Chains A and B, each alone.
Chain A
Amino acid sequence: MPDITIIGAGVAGLCVAQALLDRGGRVTVVDRHATAGPHACSWWAGGMLAPFCEGESAEEPVVRLGQEAADWWQAHTHAVHRCGSLVISPARDRADLARFARRTSNFRQINADEIAALEPDLAGRFTSGLFFENEAHLSPRAALAQLRARLEIGGTVFVQADADPDDFAKRGLTVDCRGFQARSDIADLRGVKGEMLMLSCPQITLTRPIRLLHPRAPLYIVPRGEGVFMLGATMIEGRAGKHITARALLELLSAAYALHPGFAEAEVLEIGVDSRPAFSNNLPRIRRTGDLIRVNGLYRHGFLLAPAVARMVADLIFENITPEVMDETAA
């Protein structure tokens, strides 16, 4: 069985490591940091495993490949909650809800009573919504930690080092999973800035991710349990600076307040800013040059697509099957 080095211990690197391990590979994971943390894009993920909702703006492969995610994460971690997701809009943005429904599938239209039954804290606040019963969510940080622990138990070695994938590829099969850090080696990779907040608001209980549609500032809120919520996320063409903008903060908090005024009492636990790595079609790509395989462009779909992309990397390495997201032109 081949020895394989993976550079990058974010969601892509860990999923690829697990997929290779599951197929009998011997894997070493190299990362600049000793543990997962705020330096990684996946640290700030929403953790929605919502392939059908993503169909609103994403292309078909995201919807199809994303359907593997919930089962995969459930099989490999205990971080998954399968409660569906709920899409709602303020009454005046009803047209956006109708558009969302036209663009997506596998949901049912629900009325005020059904919304209240699903999420009692939203009772009386919204009159219609879309319920995506088969979707799931997970806690990204718990999932990453559990996956890493599982890999270590399985014999995967983790090395803390600042690694150059090209150097490693001279010595053996290497998978570059550095995400936006690989920007200097991948000319057509761009950053899409995301800004997000973690709030503590014990007075509000939500069971599942809620998407609040708005023509300018759409919002999602993902419950993390114990009164903690993640609010996200802006989508801005351009790589992230160090800090959140006041505008993003205003928009995120106003949208949360529109969802439930109780969020005004929330404590702000964390503010995250990072760049999602993306190619021009916002789809992931796998590139191979000799012994170097580059996996990148997971965009806002890290947890959603990493399992499928990892499977394709394993297929490529073990069975020489060309992945559907293989980027032949770049080789």
Chain B
Amino acid sequence: MRDFYGTTLSSGLMLGTAQYPSPAILAEAFQRSAASVATVSLRRESGQDRAGQDFWQLIRDLGVHVLPNTAGCHTVKEAVTTAQMAREVFDTPWIKLEVIGDADTLQPDVFGLVEAARILTEDGFQVFPYTTEDLVVADRLLDAGCEVLMPWGAPIGSGLGLNNVFGLRALRAHFPDVPLVIDAGLGLPSQAARAMELGFDAVLLNTAVAKAGDPAAMAKAFALAVRAGQLAAQADPMDPRDMAAPSTPLIGKAFLT
């Protein structure tokens, strides 16, 4: 498994911490998901008085790597400021960088993203950029110092799965050594398995688990799917073909009629 800024993760599942019915259910979902990373948003909880510390403590207590994010930031400056605060609060150089370009689709502003990634990398951050599957943008992000890429599967919270399998496959092929994480848009475990089968290193999701009727059970379902997809990718899957290929030899078969 490719490592993430020198850290090898115990599973290919990263889980968000927003929108759960209660912190107790959040903790149970994490336990059953075997997720290796928890993402947490500081944007809405921000403030001089560190108002969110009770919740942040709960995230730390999950016992997984914390990946703070800049969710909800629409400008480079906002994202950089939020990242700096996150580093202080969680004592980690990791930052999931989101610079949102469109409020309706929550599509990343890739121009601002590259700029913010450069600023943060120079400041010592290890940046996990939320990007599209665009190859040129990916190149620019790597130039800016990113060593991980997080392309979307579909718009955040849409549950549509992998909208552009061709583009994602191309991204994987272009950057064989870069850890790639499908971030956003997954709604079902089968979609997560598909991402892992394509050779992605991890998937990051939140709504699909948090908004399920039984978040803990859905977390387990994703854990199994991610593992299944990962094993499949390692097992060198067969290539599809147009014609039937008999799995038992025809020659020598007894003539029964």
Contacts and interface: CB of A to CB of B under 8 A. Distances in A.
Interface string A71-114: 00000000000000000000000000001001100000000000
B22 A99 contact: no
A108 B23 CA distance: 31
A280 B22 CA distance: 6
Nearest to B211: A99
B45 A238 contact: yes
B54 A239 contact: yes
Contacts of A203: none
A238 B213 contact: no
B51 interface: yes
A65 interface: no
B125 to A, nearest CB: 24
A238 B24 contact: no
B58 A280 contact: yes
B22 A282 contact: yes
A241 B47 contact: yes
Interface residues on A, range: 20 to 34
A278 to B, nearest CB: 8
B53 interface: yes
Interface residues on B, range: 20 to 34
B111 interface: no
Contacts of B45: 236-238
B176 interface: no
- Contact residues of B: prevailing secondary structure: loop
Nearest to A243: B47
B1 to A, nearest CB: 32
Contact of A238 (B21, B25, B52): B52
A283 B51 CA distance: 21
A281 B44 contact: no
A328 interface: no
Nearest to B47: A241
A239 B27 contact: no
Contacts of A124: none
Contact of B213 (A102, A215, A239, A278): A102
Contacts of A241: 47-49, 51
A283 B23 CA distance: 11
Contacts of B53: 238
B55 interface: yes
Contacts of A278: 22
A215 B157 contact: yes
Interface string A180-224: 000000000011010000000000000000000001000000000
Contacts of A102: 213
B54 A191 contact: yes
A171 interface: no
Given A99-B211, A215-B157, A237 B52 contact: yes
A190 B54 contact: yes
Contact of A280 (B27, B49, B52): B27
Interface in A242-293: 247, 278, 280-283
B21 A247 contact: no
Nearest to A281: B24
A327 interface: no
A57 B20 CA distance: 8
B20 to A, nearest CB: 9
A163 interface: no
A58 B24 contact: no
B54 A238 contact: yes
A61 to B, nearest CB: 12
A22 interface: no
A190 B55 contact: yes
Interface string A2-18: 00000000000000000
Contacts of B27: 280
Interface in A23-81: 57-59
A159 interface: no
Nearest to B17: A237
Nearest to B157: A215
Given A236-B44, A247-B44, A281 B51 contact: no
Nearest to A190: B54
Interface string B23-59: 1110100000000000000001101110111110010
Interface in B102-124: none
A312 B24 CA distance: 23
A325 interface: no
A59 B28 CA distance: 14
Given A99-B211, A190-B55, A280 B47 contact: no
A21 interface: no
B120 to A, nearest CB: 23
A209 B130 CA distance: 39
B23 A280 contact: yes
Contacts of B25: 281
Contacts of A282: 21-24
A238 B51 CA distance: 5
A173 interface: no
A238 B55 contact: yes
10 contacts: A190-B54, A191-B54, A236-B45, A237-B52, A238-B47, A238-B54, A240-B51, A241-B48, A281-B25, A282-B21
Interface of A: 57-59, 99, 102-103, 190-191, 193, 215, 236-241, 247, 278, 280-283
The 7 closest A-B pairs by CB, nearest first: A238-B52, A237-B55, A190-B54, A238-B51, A281-B24, A282-B22, A238-B45
